[in-house]
Amino acid sequence: MAKIKNIELGEFPLLLAPMEDVSDPPFRKLCKEFGADVVYTEFISSEGLIRNAQKSAKKLDIYESERPVGIQIFGHNLESMLQTIEIVEASKPDFIDINFGCPVKKVVHKGAGAALLKDIPKMVRMAEAMVKRANIPVTVKTRLGWDANSIVIVEVAERLQDVGIAALAIHGRTRAQLYKGDADWKPIAAVKNNPRMHIPIFGNGDINTPERAKLMRDEYGLDGAMIGRSSIGNPWFFREVKHFLQTGEHLSKPTITERVAVAKRHLEMATEWNGDVVGLLETRRHYSSYFKGTPDFKPFRMKMVTAPTKEEVFSIFEQVIQTYK
Task: Look up 31 and say whether it is catalytic.
Answer: no
* Residue ranges of the chain that CATH labels 1.10.1200: 256-324
Q: How confident is the model at residue 55 (pLDDT cuts 50, 70, 90)?
A: confident
pLDDT of 285 > 90? The answer is no
> Per DSSP, what are the bridge partners of residue 202?
169, 224
Q: How confident is the model at residue 52 (pLDDT cuts 50, 70, 90)?
A: confident
Per-residue model confidence as pLDDT tens digits over 169-201: 999 999 999 999 999 999 999 999 999 999 999
2-247 adopts what CATH topology?
TIM Barrel (3.20.20)
Note the CATH number of domain 256-324.
1.10.1200
Per-residue model confidence as pLDDT tens digits over 13-48: 999 999 998 999 999 999 999 999 999 999 999 999
Task: Give the predicted TM-score (pTM) of the model.
Answer: 0.95
In this prediction, residue 193 carries a pLDDT of 97
Per-residue model confidence as pLDDT tens digits over 295-312: 999 999 999 999 999 999
If you average pLDDT over residues 62-66, what whole number do you get?
93
* Residue ranges of the chain that CATH labels 3.20.20.70: 2-247
User: Which residue in 62, 102, 260, 304 is the catalytic one?
Assistant: 102
Q: What is the mean pLDDT of the chain?
A: 96
